């Protein structure tokens, strides 16, 4: 694993710890306008509107193996947007890992064909 992506903001805590343990680089995915350099953006639907995430343009090199880490998988919109950003930068997304999965919200359905793991399911 070359890179671990953490989604703002609790994903930073978990993702940084996982990256350190794996000896991988850590990459933050943030809300719009918070990254200091050039970034790409992916918008996604929420139950009550839309939101977006950004990643630095140079965060991932083509073919780098990437793991996405976040605290909760709920409806899957945030995770799907993060996965799209990794794909747009031509990273090799090996999987998505969550501390908690709210199974009744069917978030996995927005991540077809992706390796998804959660520690706790409710």
Active site residues: 10, 47
Tokens 């090199």, residue located: 61
48: which residues sit within 8 A by CB, 6+ positions away? none
Cβ atoms of residues 50 and 29 within 8 Å: no
Q: Which string of DSSP letters, residue by residue, matches 23-39?
A: T-EEEEEBSTT--SS-E
């Amino acid at each position: 694993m070359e890179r671990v992506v953490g989604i703002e903001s609790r994903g930073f805590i978990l993702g940084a710890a996982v990256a350190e343990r794996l000896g991988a680089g850590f990459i933050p995915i943030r809300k719009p306008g918070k990254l200091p350099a050039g970034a790409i953006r992916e918008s996604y639907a929420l139950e009550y509107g839309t939101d977006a995430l950004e990643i630095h343009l140079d965060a991932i090199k083509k073919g780098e193996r990437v793991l996405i880490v976040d605290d909760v998988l709920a409806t899957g919109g945030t995770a799907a947007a993060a996965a799209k950003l990794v794909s747009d930068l031509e990273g090799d997304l090996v999987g998505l890992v969550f501390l908690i999965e709210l199974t009744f919200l069917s978030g996995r359905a927005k991540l077809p064909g992706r390796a998804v793991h959660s520690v706790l399911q409710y």
